[in-house]
Chains A and B, each alone.
Chain A
Amino acid sequence: NAGVMQNPRHLVRRRGQEARLRCSPMKGHSHVYWYRQLPEEGLKFMVYLQKENIIDESGMPKERFSAEFPKEGPSILRIQQVVRGDSAAYFCASSLLSSGDSTDTQYFGPGTRLTVL
């Protein structure tokens, strides 16, 4: 059973370009979470999605950032007009269950390291 897949592993963009980060959850998982990790800091929650729905985007900047998790295909985190401060590692996690009575473990992908020149 393949784990969470993220691509690309490394992404270099110039200021003002767009960055697209992809995340394929584990098989059978329908909940996806995106986190950002800045150097020397812990992971910061960005957004939680279920298939075709954004459940919580409270951790995502209001401008330039968007996320989707279509019915078919991977979840996409999109950053428009990137700036140097967007340079970070972006991790995706997936889980089988989420809301309700059960707490389910989040399994993480390898991350995408974004460098903005």
Chain B
Amino acid sequence: EDKVVQSPLSLVVHEGDTVTLNCSYEVTNFRSLLWYKQEKKAPTFLFMLTSSGIEKKSGRLSSILDKKELFSILNITATQTGDSAVYLCAVEGMDSNYQLIWGAGTKLIIKP
């Protein structure tokens, strides 16, 4: 059965710290991995990763995919209180190129 596992489930850090969120997956015919940020609203898209070893960056956020070991990490440097959210990882399989398989999320709390 296809699955996506995120760790840790929750994380509390202080402003300015760097955090690394993990997402591992088992999916038939992997197509892409996506990261979303969910605050008290709908998930907002962060990154889509399809190729191994190529880092994607957006400001203080970056992400990379390892298709051999079947995981991705999301890094946030110099965290701010506005980064507090649930970070969701989702994977898309080739056989089902629309249906996203979601992890349970990592709840990140940034303390001032």
Q: Chain A: residues with CB nearer than 8 A to chain B?
A: 4, 31, 33, 35, 40-45, 48, 55-56, 58-59, 91, 95, 98-99, 103, 105-111
Of A42, A59, A108, the residue contacting B104 (CB under 8 A) is: A42
Residue ID in chain B nearest A91 by CB atoms: B42
Q: Chain B: residues with CB nearer than 8 A to chain A?
A: 4, 31-32, 34, 36, 41-45, 48, 50, 88, 90, 92, 96-105
CA distance A109 to B98 in the complex (A): 17
Cβ–Cβ < 8 Å partners of B43 in chain A:
43, 91, 108
Cβ–Cβ < 8 Å partners of A43 in chain B:
43, 88, 90, 100, 102
Question: In the complex where A42-B105, A91-B42 touch, is A106 in contact with B100 (Cβ < 8 A)?
Answer: yes
Question: In the complex where A40-B104, A103-B32 touch, is A33 in contact with B98 (Cβ < 8 A)?
Answer: yes
Most buried by B among A56, A98, A103, A105: A103
Where chain B touches its partner, the secondary structure class is strand
User: What's the least CB distance linking B77 to chain A, in Å?
Assistant: 24
Cβ–Cβ < 8 Å partners of B88 in chain A:
42-43
User: What's the least CB distance linking B103 to chain A, in Å?
Assistant: 5
Q: Assess the A42–B103 pair: CB atoms within 8 A.
A: yes
Cβ–Cβ < 8 Å partners of A41 in chain B:
104
User: What's the least CB distance linking A35 to chain B, in Å?
Assistant: 8
CA distance A35 to B43 in the complex (A): 11
CA distance A109 to B43 in the complex (A): 8
13 more A-B residue pairs beyond the given contacts A43-B88, A43-B100, with a C-beta to C-beta distance below 8 A? A33-B100, A40-B104, A42-B4, A42-B90, A44-B102, A55-B98, A56-B96, A56-B99, A91-B43, A99-B98, A103-B32, A105-B34, A107-B45
8 contacts between A and B (CB under 8 A): A41-B104, A42-B88, A42-B104, A48-B99, A56-B98, A105-B34, A108-B44, A109-B42
User: What's the least CB distance linking A42 to chain B, in Å?
Assistant: 4
CA distance A111 to B103 in the complex (A): 18
